Amino acid sequence: MQENKEEIEYLVGRERMVRAGGIDLWAEEFGDPDHPAVLLVMGAQAQGVQWNDGIVRRLVGGGRRVIRYDHRDTGRSSTVDFADQPYTVADMASDALAVLDGFGVERAHVVGASLGGVIGQRLAVTHPHRVLTLTSLSSQPLGTDTAAAVQRAMEGAPALDGELPPPKPELLAALVSAFPEPGAGLEGYLAARLPLWRVLHGPVLPFHEDEYRAMERRVYERARDLRAGLNHTLAGAAPVGSTAELASVTAPTLVLHGTEDPMFPPAHAEATATAVPGARLVMIEGMGHTLPAALDDRLAEEILRHTGKAPGATA
């Protein structure tokens, strides 16, 4: 009975606020503190709880200590006045290190989705001693100027020679109306967000609206300021390194990507895997730029397999 009680306790999140450079970051850990740590880093404008509970449970069941957190300007973490306190993706990478420090973790398996993948790549370049393994999920290579590519695409201009493909036109159209006017309330917010999730989800796997509605309801209820996350776009406009720097990455690297990703088409994953020595590329058939519950098993399986191969994989 005692063992069952301990197992249940490990599946209940333990929350704390971590201080990082004058701001507070909400964070939550699961699992046995003596197990190898996995840091889950979400993408732009996304909260830590958008890492599905199902993925977290499977990673904990596989013998991992799992930590997820809200970026600055999302969820329960601090919001800032960007004009007075501008920051960059490099600063957001420092936030990730602060979270690890807050939990007493010297080295972790870093799993980053979308912008979180870029943050993970940045850490693998600048702080290799902190990164046991790297998993870059639904992301793109460090140093890619996404903002400029999106701007050209929205203006109808052709891509530059050698430039990675921009987001799909239907996604660019959905992004225009993805945020409701202030005061729209929960239903107005959901009405604006669900069409975006339909496009991000992709056309192949079944789209379960109730799943995305529940996720966005949770986001709405936790947020200090729903529009603050738009500052991540401003942060991403500043240079954060170059793709060439990925040649220095020594952490075993897995590149996970959906075949139907409308934000970063598969060429982004191929470029990342090419740039990182020894990286393994795994394409998930039918997956778009979201983490639907139907893929919890597959994604957790890939992450567990990858993080189990690292030498000296201890918390």
The runs of H, that is alpha helices, within 244-295 are: 267-275
Q: How confident is the model at residue 5 (pLDDT cuts 50, 70, 90)?
A: low
Q: How far is CA 57 from CA 9, 54, 74, 85, in A?
A: 12, 5, 23, 36
Residue 8 has pLDDT above 60, yes or no: no
Structure confidence at residue 181 (pLDDT): 79
Burial profile 6-18: b = 16 or more Cβ within 10 angstroms, e = fewer: eeeebeebeeebb
Percent over 90 (pLDDT), the chain = 83
CB under 8 Å, gap of 24 or more: what pairs does 99-103 form?
A: 99/18, 99/20, 99/25, 99/27, 99/39, 99/67, 99/69, 100/37, 100/39, 100/67, 100/130, 101/18, 102/16, 102/18, 102/19, 102/20, 102/25, 102/27, 103/16, 103/18, 103/27, 103/29, 103/37, 103/67
Residue 11 has pLDDT above 70, yes or no: no
pLDDT digits (tens, 9 = 90+) for 171-190: 999 998 888 877 889 999 99
- The chain-wide mean pLDDT, for the chain, equals 92
Structure confidence at residue 161 (pLDDT): 77
Structure confidence at residue 183 (pLDDT): 82
Which residues have a catalytic role annotated? 114, 261, 289
pTM score, two decimals? 0.94
pLDDT digits (tens, 9 = 90+) for 69-82: 999 999 999 999 99
Q: How confident is the model at residue 147 (pLDDT cuts 50, 70, 90)?
A: confident
pLDDT digits (tens, 9 = 90+) for 40-58: 999 999 999 999 999 999 9
pLDDT digits (tens, 9 = 90+) for 195-220: 999 999 999 999 999 999 999 999 99
Percent over 70 (pLDDT), the chain = 94
Domains located in the chain, CATH noted: 2-307 (3.40.50.1820)
* Cα 252 from chain centre: 18
pLDDT digits (tens, 9 = 90+) for 240-289: 899 999 999 999 999 999 999 999 999 999 999 999 999 999 999 999 99
